[in-house]
Amino acid sequence: MGNTSKDKQSMPLVILLLVAALVATLGFWAADRWDTEPAYSNNASIGGTGGEHFQWKMITTWPKNFPGLGFAAENFSRSVEEMSNGRLTVHVYGAGEIVPALGVFEAVSEGIVDAGHGAAYYWKGKVPASVFFTAVPFGLTAQETNGWLHYGGGLELWQEAYAPYNLVPMAGGSTGVQMAGWFNKEINSIADLRGLKMRIPGLAGEVFAAAGGTAVTIPGGELYTSMQTGVIDAVEWVGPYNDKSLGFHQVAKYYYYPGWHEPGSILEFVFNKDSLEALPKDLQAIVRFASRAANQDMLDEYTARNNAALQSLVDEHGVQLRRLPDDVLLALWHGAQVVMQELVGADPMAAKVYASYSDFYKGVRNYHHISEQAYLNARDKVFGDEDF
């Protein structure tokens, strides 16, 4: 009786074991054949580090899929996923989805998310030196800033400035020379800036304030409404390609150049240091190279698209293009020197970065005087004004 009973109980166990073995075999076959992620997820014992998968969240100071500036985060995400064969995926969240636009620095610093994309000068209140890593009035161009960051010690200083916040920064795109901004009155002298409330962030905002205006920092997604409702009188954002997509030509008449305040703005990727260091070395390298590629890609896109947008603004939308008068530019330059000395006098890290930046500036300006600038001047000379 006992044996019979035992045999009857054993039968289902044998079947279960056989079924389990079959399921396991099919499972491994399927995982191998289709490279399904869950079977290997975060499992270093299968396939070594090559089998680990990581999922990151990246937040941005721009709305989701924002033209130009907003594409960098998406480019980065796509590159990382392709280069890592899906071992690192980066989900991009627009401004306001997890934290507000100007909450990016803190959220990445605190590890609420792994990464962010924005502009360093938004964090001027926390890190005064951050302005050097976006734009300095009358400072380096995009090409020059990239040279300083990647071959002139700039990136190391940027990393040093962000280290207390557990953040690792990398260059995240460049706009090239921006436009001076949109106004509803002509600027014929520095006195015309008095009393104007303008969206103009960073050091340039302080220069603008010194000239008698009021400078405010407002995220990109709120600018059109701010102009339309009269919260601000003037706005600078980027350049024709970006500005046209935001519709500023519907709320402002005059479009001024040159962008004295942002001659080559660099955007930033910021990474939570713990998230970055949790990655195997090869994925860390992929993050670095995907950032570098997205950085260059943005400049390429602006270079390719700005002129068509400018032509459309002028020819189809009746925008009045104006150049800031030389005496206004000179007054702003004087203001910028005062603001710069105040900044470096008040903050040792800013002074340290300024020393490096200004050394590089002197050298590159000297060479570009007889290379980039000399060539552009020569090109204009032979063509004259015939094409403008």
Min. distance of Cβ 68 from Ca ion in angstroms? 11
C-alpha distances out from residue 294 to 73, 74, 170, 221, 290, Å: 8, 9, 11, 22, 6
Scan residues 314-373 and list those touching Ca ion (CB under 5 A): none
Whether 59 contacts 104, CB under 8 Å: yes
- Of 64-72, 103-111, 259-267, 296-304, the window that binds Ca ion (rule: CB under 5 A) is 259-267
Q: Which of positions 170-199 make contact with Ca ion (CB under 5 A)?
A: 178
Please report, as residue ranges, which positions from 267 to 296 form the binding site for Ca ion (by CB under 5 A): none
Cα(156)–Cα(147) distance, rounded to whole angstroms? 13
Gap between the Cα atoms of 60 and 126, Å rounded: 18
Q: Mark residue 223 as left, alpha or beta (left: phi above 0; alpha: psi -120 to 50; beta: remaining).
A: alpha
Q: Smallest distance from the beta carbon of 240 to Ca ion, in angstroms?
A: 13
Coil, helix or strand at residue 55: strand
Q: Which is nearer to Ca ion, 79 or 146 (CB)?
A: 146
CA dihedral 365, 370, 371, 376 (to 10 degrees): 100
State the minimum distance, in angstroms, from the CB of residue 175 to Ca ion: 7
Sheet holding 320-323, edge to edge: 214-216, 197-199, 234-235, 181-183, 254-257, 320-323
Site pattern 54..83 for Ca ion (x: CB under 5 A):
------------------------------
Cβ 202 to Ca ion shortest distance, Å: 8
Across 280-316, b (16+ Cβ under 10 Å) vs e yields beebbebbeebbbebbebbbebbeebbeebbeebeee
* The two three-digit tokens of residue 22, written as one number: 């079959």
For Ca ion, give the closer residue by CB, 59 or 266: 266
User: Residue 148 or 182: which CB sits closer to Ca ion?
Assistant: 182
Size, binding site for Ca ion by CB under 5 A: 2
77 or 265: CB nearest Ca ion: 265
Report, in Å, the least distance between residue 366 CB and Ca ion: 27
| Site for Ca ion contains 262 (CB under 5 A) | yes
Based on the shown chain and the rule CB under 5 A, indicate whether residue 144 belongs to the binding site for Ca ion.
no
Token couple for 237: 């954002």
Least Å distance, CB 237 to Ca ion, is 6
Taking the complex as a whole, the smallest distance from the CB of residue 178 to Ca ion amounts, in Å, to 5
Nearer to Ca ion, 254 or 284 (CB): 254
**Contact set with Ca ion (CB under 5 A):** 178, 262
